[in-house]
Amino acid sequence: MVIASGMKKIVLFLLLGTLWSCDNKQISNENFNTIAPTAFAEKMTEEGMVLIDVRTEDEFEEGHLEGAIQHDYYETESFKAFLAGLDKSKTYMIYCRSGGRSGTTLDMMAQMGFSKVYNLDGGITAWKAAQLPVAP
């Protein structure tokens, strides 16, 4: 019984360690960062940046940021191919509904070798809460 109990604790410890190490931690540095809506709005005015909405088409049609191109994060293979076809030297601004999908996209783009990617903290939900403009 003692061995079984001790073994359970070891297995549990290893399982938890594995889960923590696999956690999707967002990369945060000056070139890959999640930023507040007002800072995001300011950065959007920079020349040459590309704005990407990673929500579904239906979500996009409910309202989006002016000038955004839409590509559905949930269309996994198509989405990965879309990202792979982008110019890695450009600056990208990405957002979704609440920041989850775009946060994961930020990590993906960093791993793919992009040079600058910014994620909207809290997504379009936070953008609207900050009373910033949304295109119909």
pLDDT of residue 8: 54
pLDDT of residue 109: 97
pLDDT of residue 82: 98
**Domain range spanning residue 49?**
26-129
CATH of the domain at 50: 3.40.250.10
> Does residue 43 fall inside a structural domain?
yes
> Does residue 13 fall inside a structural domain?
no
3-state secondary structure of 11: helix
pLDDT tens figures, 4-56: 555 555 444 443 343 333 334 444 577 899 999 999 999 999 999 999 999 99
Q: How many domains does the chain have?
A: 1
Q: What is the reported pTM?
A: 0.78
| Contacts of residue 119, Cβ cutoff 8 Å, sequence gap at least 6 | 26, 33, 34, 35, 94, 95, 99, 102, 103, 105, 106
Query: How much is the average pLDDT of 94-123?
Result: 97
Count other Cβ atoms within 10 Å, centred on residue 5.
8
pLDDT of residue 15: 38
